[in-house]
């Protein structure tokens, strides 16, 4: 029987990042992945002969620190200096363009207001920046490191100055709608700017909670929230992380679903001592790290008999229902969008904030929205290898598509939704549906089944105030350690959360190494 | 709308024994337990107490909460919930248990009956279904059923109880050992009897479907007439259980799930129930917290006191000196014990002061005048009342 210093379950980007740091520190690491490929939701896969796409279709906040620590450029990861515009599409062609340098397509007044708006958001994002790549202090924790982190949080806020601090505390939990209404007039602009506060969450413009905080979280990257595609696409990040991991001796096993985390239970308590694979094979390790979502980790892999009652019930009540579906279109030709010249940007179909709100209203009662709101990227422009010569791939996030659809999901209901989506897309890109060779729709249920993510939720666990920071996923597991000795977690369900960031994997590795 | 219909849902539930008990409740002295109309006493609390100690009495435990917990994972689920190791519990045996929050604060105590390899009954003082559901999350193969309203139960306590049961021709009743469960032919059905109770004396608890409850009652009272049978209520129970050193909710402990103020609930170590906590078990709810509590020593310890004089120390403060300058605890229950002929009490005392002097400041009233005295207390390690007849098998016959 093989023995490792560390066994990491789940070869998504967080598992990979964690494996890299531990491998680099000299540990003998095994990374186990259930599916045939590493990368999880970021993995690029063929969805139709010759056409490839990844569920996570662009990158916006992968930390520079990890790129340089792990020397990822040496392993072929080329960050693009070009950030994608966010383009709010208008049926008449009066689109709104949001770039890193400012706005166009709106009135001068709005352009000027945007500069003020984005400047203050950038200051807030910068103040929060240090906390994403950091273990959060435990509530009630009294170690010097924990107290220092609390002081640092306070100091960072204090350094913002009285005016900004008040404003940050005010807007952090403000509904997106209020912030947009305060600042802007154009419906399309408001909807476009609120997109990144909402996408991937169970929040709509009028939902109170933390949509602006989510927006600030997304602004943590180099491009202040704008997305980019590396040379070679999203897969190049996964490839670089994989090669880097191999270079430091990380052993990788794909096609190896884990059935149980093996637990040693005796008078000293419970401790993880390895994993048992689906086939019954046992592998032992000094510690086990799970990059899977908290529900899978604790409810399925550890099991109730090894965890205390309140803890397991808190894990169970985590909100994990996904509301984003993914549409992949194999196209015979490049699409045209009315009034758009270059297509390697990010397009948003959400004409007003009400459209977004109504889409959510439908979804929260288990219906597919009458008018879905959509984010589009055409990754094959950046990475020609994703499609055959002349063909293209259109990759779209569709909001809000319920995990718990009334009556459940069927091939029929999926086909119905695809038809509706193509109708909508045709309005903005005339003739698009005629170019469609194949359409793949991945509902949150599909994401759950094929990517093994509970609820099909991007973030494993909803990024909401009560499930963030030192409450993520819940206390007693918010510092990457768990109530089970030698069992750690490092997935998107940990602080700081999901998105292609890798900070959870980084933070977990740091906890283990110090 | 008549008051009858207007408050229909608010009416107290009547136990299956109610008709007979109401006829014997000369004082119409009723209180409430878990929504059931329930006798505080029937004639006179002290008289009933003496019956329990000298002859026999019945105490209606229908309102006690009873849950059937069945399935492949029933044992694992219960074992994770309670602090004791119930994997050691044999079939047809009963064990006393307590269960805690993850902070080690006691939620409730009760008994677990192992009725079959995968079948348990849990009894406790307060409704616990919500907690049981929480505790069963993650265990697929467990079914929990509240049988409180369908399984009638009567606590039958006192030295002559065995004689009554024997005369009822319950075959093999003489072999029933303490904490054992037996099944006996009665009224074309099976009467379940456990040799358990809350009085510290010889006694049994009788379990039967509601439909046969009155027949059981009538048989007991017919035969029991020659053995001094008498129904007793809450008041007499409270006296007997204090002599036996048993704790009572809302006297010795406050149920953790219903406690608002920080640490106004108790840990098993504080309640002197450390013997119920089995750290050889790898996991149970509250294990981590209780390890710390054990290591650091509980803040308070529930202590049995023998107090000089004869004035019950009800509600007294406990001091570490006669001048009452050092407050070290408070009395939870107190009485003059006729059986032991001593002034007894249970008190929560700060653990660090257990080895010094202990004084109780007792307030009492004599014909409208208020008096107070400071009385010296002695710690008693053993229950005040623990007669050997309680443990004898077969028990003595009268």
**pLDDT tens, residue by residue, B95-149:** 999 999 999 999 999 999 999 999 999 999 999 999 999 999 999 999 999 999 9
List all residues 6 or more positions away from B260 whose beta carbon is below 8 Å from its beta carbon.
Answer: none
Across chain A, what does the average pLDDT equal? Answer: 95
In whole angstroms, what is the distance from residue B246 CA to residue B381 CA? 13
A301-305: which pairs have CB atoms within 8 A and are 24 or more residues apart? A301/A9, A301/A258, A301/A259, A301/A260, A301/A261, A302/A261, A302/A263, A302/A272, A302/A484, A302/A487, A303/A260, A303/A263, A303/B138, A304/B77, A304/B80, A304/B137, A304/B138, A304/B139, A305/B76, A305/B77, A305/B80, A305/B138, A305/B139, A305/B283
**Average pLDDT of span A61-75:** 96
Q: How many CB pairs under 8 A join A and B?
A: 57
A91 domain-assigned: no
Handedness of CA A433, A435, A438, A440 (dihedral sign): negative
Domain ranges of chain B: 11-64+149-244, 65-146, 299-382
CB B322 within 8 A of CB B226: no
Sheet holding B94-100, edge to edge: B94-100, B106-116, B119-124, B65-70, B143-146
Q: Is the pLDDT confidence value at A51 over 70?
A: yes
Flag if A316 and B280 touch (Cβ within 8 Å).
no
User: Is A289 in contact with A512 (CB distance < 8 Å)?
Assistant: yes
**Cross-strand bridge partners of residue B32:** B37
Range of the domain at A289: 3-39+235-318+459-513
Q: Judge whether residue A222 has pLDDT over 80.
A: no
Mind listing the pLDDT tens digit for each residue in A424-483?
Answer: 999 999 999 999 999 999 999 999 999 999 999 999 999 998 999 999 999 999 999 999
Among partner residues B135, B283, B288, which is closest to A306 by beta-carbon distance?
B283
For an interface test with A, give the residue of B282, B285, B286, B288 to mutate (most A CBs within 10 A).
B282
Q: What is the pLDDT of residue A23?
A: 98
Query: For residue B282, which residues of chain A lie inside 8 Å, CB to CB?
Result: 265-270, 306
Residue whose token pair is 């008040």: A166
- Best A304, A315, A318 member to test B by mutation, with max B CBs in 10 Å, is A304
Q: Dmax of chain A from CA atoms?
A: 71
- What confidence tier does B1 reach under pLDDT thresholds 50, 70, 90? low
The answer to whether A160 touches A120, Cβ cutoff 8 Å, is no
| pLDDT at position B2 over 80 | no
Rounded CA separation A337/A347 (Å)? 10
pLDDT tens track for B247-280: 999 999 999 999 999 999 999 999 999 999 999 9
What's the pLDDT at B201?
A: 97
Q: Which of A272, A308, A317, A483 to mutate to test the interface with B (most CBs of B within 10 A)?
A: A308
Residue B35 CA, distance from chain mean position: 18
Average pLDDT score over residue span A403-408: 96
Per-residue pLDDT tens over the stretch A114-163: 999 999 999 999 988 888 999 998 888 788 888 888 888 888 888 889 99
Task: State the smallest CA–CA distance between residue A295 and chain B in angstroms.
Answer: 11
Q: Tell me which residue of A462, A504, A503 sits closest to A214, measured CA to CA.
A: A462
Tell whether B139 lies on the interface with A, counting CB pairs under 8 A.
yes
d(CA A24, CA A250): 9
Q: How confident is the model at residue A421 (pLDDT cuts 50, 70, 90)?
A: very high
Give the tens place of pLDDT for each residue, A282-315: 999 999 999 999 999 999 999 999 999 999 999 9
Q: Do B138 and A312 touch (CB under 8 A)?
A: yes
Q: Do A307 and B287 touch (CB under 8 A)?
A: no
Pick the CATH number of B65-146 from 3.40.50.2300, 3.30.70.1400, 1.10.1040.10, 3.10.129.10: 3.30.70.1400
B139 vs A268: CB contact, 8 Å cut-off?
Answer: no
| pLDDT score, position A271 | 98
CATH number for the domain including A249? Answer: 3.50.50.60
pLDDT band of A53, cuts 50, 70, 90 = very high
The pLDDT assigned to B3 comes to: 60
Q: What pLDDT is attached to residue B9?
A: 84
Pairwise CA distance, residues B115 & B183, whole Å: 11
Position B247 scores a pLDDT of 97
User: Is the Cβ pair A312, B287 closer than 8 Å?
Assistant: no
- Crossing angle of the two packed helices A211-218 and A187-198, in degrees rounded to 10: 80
Q: Which residue of A has its CA nearest to B77?
A: A305
CATH of domain B299-382: 2.40.30.110
- Position A28 pLDDT exceeds 60: yes
Q: Which of B198, B172, B196, B179 is nearest to B90 (CA)?
A: B179
Mean pLDDT computed over B69-73 = 98
* Alpha carbon distance A214, A224 (integer Å): 13
Best residue of B131, B138, B285, B286 to probe chain A, by most A CBs closer than 10 Å: B138
Kindly determine whether residue A270 and residue B282, on different chains, have CB atoms separated by under 8 Å: yes
Give the closest of A267, A270, A309 to B285, CB-based.
A309
Instruction: Return all residues near B41 (Cβ < 8 A) that are at least 6 apart.
Output: B27, B29, B48, B232, B233, B234, B235, B236
pLDDT band per the 50, 70, 90 thresholds, residue B193 = very high
State the best of B74, B283, B292 to mutate against chain A, taking most chain A CBs within 10 Å: B283
How many distinct structural domains can be found in chain A? 1
The pLDDT of A158-182, averaged and rounded, is 92
Angle value at C-alpha A304, between A302 and A308, nearest 5 degrees: 105
- Work out the minimum CA distance from A483 to partner chain B, whole angstroms: 9
Contact A305 B286 (CB under 8 A): no
A309: tokens are 């009652």
CB contact under 8 A, A305 and B80: yes
According to the model, what pLDDT value does residue A146 have? 84
Q: Which of A459, A193, A199, A450 is nearest to A319 (CA)?
A: A459
More confident residue, B114 or B398: B114
Query: pTM of this prediction?
Result: 0.95
Beta strand residue intervals within A33-190, DSSP E: 44-48, 51-54, 86-88, 96-99, 102-104
Does residue A57 carry a pLDDT above 60? yes
Q: Do A310 and B102 touch (CB under 8 A)?
A: yes
Which residues from B are below 8 Å from A477, CB to CB? none
State the smallest CA–CA distance between residue A299 and chain B in angstroms: 6
Put simply, the answer to whether B138 touches A310 (Cβ < 8 Å) is no
Residue A16, domain member (yes or no): yes
Does residue B137 sit at the A interface (CB-CB below 8 Å)? yes
Domain assignment present for A13: yes
Interface contact B262, partner A, CB < 8 A: no
What tokens appear for A168 in the block? 């940050």
Res. B290: pLDDT tops 60? yes
**Cβ–Cβ of A305/B283 closer than 8 Å?**
yes
- Please report the pLDDT score of residue A96 as a whole number: 97
- Binned at pLDDT 50, 70 and 90, residue A107 comes out as very high
Stretch (H or E) spanning B56: strand B56-60
Q: What percent of chain B has pLDDT over 70?
A: 99
DSSP symbol at B93: B
What residues contact residue B203 under an 8 Å CB cut-off, 6+ apart?
B155, B156, B157, B158, B161, B195, B196, B197, B390
> Each residue of A122-136: pLDDT tens digit?
999 998 888 899 999
Residue A238, pLDDT > 70, answer: yes
Residue B57 phi, psi (nearest 5): -150, 160
Instruction: Output the CA torsion A313→A318→A319→A321 (10° steps).
Output: -80
The chain-wide mean pLDDT, for chain B, equals 97
Average pLDDT over residues A412-420: 98
pLDDT band for B6, please (50, 70, 90 cuts).
confident
Here the tokens at position B284 are: 């149970």
Fold for B11-64+149-244, please state it: Gyrase A; domain 2 (3.30.1360)
Question: Going by C-beta distance under 8 Å and a sequence separation of 6 or more, which residues neighbour residue B33?
Answer: B63, B64, B234
What is the ipTM, given to two decimal places?
Answer: 0.94
Contact assessment for residue B70 and residue B119, using Cβ atoms and an 8 Å cutoff: yes
Give the range among A214-223, B144-153, B333-342 with minimum mean pLDDT: A214-223
Domain annotation covers residue A248: yes
A304 and B279: CB-CB below 8 Å?
Answer: no
Of B137, B279, B282, the CB nearest to A313: B137
């Amino acid at each position: 029987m093989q023995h490792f210093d560390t066994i990491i379950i789940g070869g998504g980007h967080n598992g990979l990042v964690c494996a890299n740091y531990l491998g680099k520190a000299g540990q003998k690491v095994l990374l186990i992945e259930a599916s045939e490929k590493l990368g999880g939701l970021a993995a690029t896969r063929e969805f139709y002969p010759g056409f490839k796409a990844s569920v996570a279709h662009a990158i916006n906040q992968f930390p520079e620190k990890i790129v340089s620590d792990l020397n990822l450029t040496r392993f072929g990861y080329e960050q693009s200096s070009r950030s994608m515009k966010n383009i709010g599409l208008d049926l008449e062609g009066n689109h709104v363009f949001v770039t890193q340098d400012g706005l166009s397509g709106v009135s001068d007044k709005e352009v000027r207001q945007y500069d003020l708006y984005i400047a203050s958001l950038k200051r807030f994002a910068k103040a929060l920046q240090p906390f994403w790549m950091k273990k959060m202090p435990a509530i009630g924790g009294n170690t010097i490191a924990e107290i220092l982190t609390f002081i640092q949080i306070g100091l960072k806020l204090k350094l913002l100055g009285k005016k900004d601090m008040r404003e940050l505390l005010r807007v952090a939990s403000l509904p997106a709608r209020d912030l947009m209404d305060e600042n802007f007039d154009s419906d399309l602009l408001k909807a476009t700017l609120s997109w990144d506060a909402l996408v991937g969450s169970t929040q709509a413009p009028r939902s109170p909670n933390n949509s602006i905080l989510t927006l600030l979280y997304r602004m943590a990257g180099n491009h202040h929230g704008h997305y980019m595609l590396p040379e070679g696409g999203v897969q190049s990040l996964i490839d670089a992380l994989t090669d880097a991991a191999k270079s430091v001796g990380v052993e990788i096993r794909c096609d190896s679903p884990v059935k149980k985390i093996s637990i040693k239970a005796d008078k000293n308590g419970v401790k993880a001592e390895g994993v048992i694979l689906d086939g019954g094979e046992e592998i032992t390790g000094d510690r086990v790290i799970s990059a899977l979502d908290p529900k899978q980790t604790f409810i399925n892999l550890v099991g109730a008999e090894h965890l205390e009652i309140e803890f397991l019930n808190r894990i169970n009540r985590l909100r994990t229902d996904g509301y984003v579906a993914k549409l992949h279109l194999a196209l015979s030709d490049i699409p045209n969008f009315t009034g758009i010249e270059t297509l390697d940007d990010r397009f948003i179909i959400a004409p007003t904030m009400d459209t977004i709100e109504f889409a959510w209203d439908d979804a929260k009662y288990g219906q597919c929205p009458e008018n879905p709101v959509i984010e589009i990227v055409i990754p094959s422009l950046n990475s020609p290898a994703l499609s055959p010569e002349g063909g293209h791939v259109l990759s779209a996030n569709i909001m809000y598509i319920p995990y718990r659809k009334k009556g459940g999901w069927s091939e029929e209901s999926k086909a119905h939704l695809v038809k509706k989506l193509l109708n909508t897309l045709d309005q903005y890109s005339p003739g698009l549906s005629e170019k469609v060779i194949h359409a793949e729709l991945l509902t949150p249920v599909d994401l759950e089944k094929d990517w093994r993510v509970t609820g099909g939720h991007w973030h494993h666990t909803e990024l909401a105030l009560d499930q963030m920071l030192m409450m993520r996923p819940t206390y007693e597991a918010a510092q990457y350690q768990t109530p089970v000795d030698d069992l750690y977690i490092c997935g998107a369900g940990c602080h700081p959360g999901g998105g292609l960031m890798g900070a959870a994997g980084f933070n977990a590795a740091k906890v283990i190494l110090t | 709308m008549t008051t009858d219909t207007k408050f229909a849902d608010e009416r107290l539930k009547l136990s299956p024994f109610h008709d007979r008990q109401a006829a014997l409740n000369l004082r119409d002295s009723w209180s409430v337990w878990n929504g059931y109309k329930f006798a505080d006493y029937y004639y006179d609390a002290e008289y009933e107490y003496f019956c329990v100690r000298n002859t026999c009495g019945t105490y209606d435990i229908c309102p006690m909460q009873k849950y059937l917990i069945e399935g492949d994972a029933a044992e694992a689920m219960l074992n994770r919930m309670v602090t004791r190791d119930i994997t050691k519990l044999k079939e047809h045996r009963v064990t006393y248990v307590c269960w805690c929050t993850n902070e080690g604060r006691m939620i409730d105590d009760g008994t677990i009956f192992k009725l079959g390899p995968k079948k348990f009954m849990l009894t406790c003082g307060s409704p616990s279904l919500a907690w049981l559901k929480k505790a069963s999350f993650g265990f697929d193969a467990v079914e929990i059923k509240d049988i409180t309203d369908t399984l009638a139960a009567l606590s039958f306590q006192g030295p002559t109880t065995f004689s009554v049961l024997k005369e009822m021709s319950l075959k093999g009743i003489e072999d029933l050992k303490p904490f054992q469960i037996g099944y006996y032919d009665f009224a074309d059905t099976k009467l379940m009897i456990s040799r358990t109770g809350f009085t510290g004396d010889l006694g049994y608890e009788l379990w039967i479907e509601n439909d046969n409850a009155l027949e059981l009652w009538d048989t007991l009272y017919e035969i029991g007439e020659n053995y001094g049978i008498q129904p007793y209520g809450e008041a007499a129970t409270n006296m007997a259980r204090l002599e036996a050193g048993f704790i009572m909710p809302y006297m010795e402990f406050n149920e953790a799930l219903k406690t608002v103020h920080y640490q106004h609930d108790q840990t098993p170590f504080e309640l002197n129930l450390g013997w119920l906590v089995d750290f050889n078990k790898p996991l149970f709810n509250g294990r981590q917290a209780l390890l710390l509590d054990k290591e650091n020593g509980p803040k308070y310890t529930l202590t049995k006191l023998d107090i000089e004089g004869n004035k019950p120390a009800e509600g007294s403060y406990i001091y570490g000196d006669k001048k009452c300058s050092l407050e070290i605890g408070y009395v939870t229950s107190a009485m003059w014990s006729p059986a032991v002929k001593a002034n007894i009490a249970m008190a929560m005392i700060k653990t660090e002061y257990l080895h010094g002097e202990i004084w109780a400041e007792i307030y009492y009233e004599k014909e409208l005048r208020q008096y107070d005295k400071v009385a010296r207390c002695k710690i008693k390690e053993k229950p005040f009342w623990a007669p050997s007849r309680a443990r004898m098998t077969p028990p003595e016959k009268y």
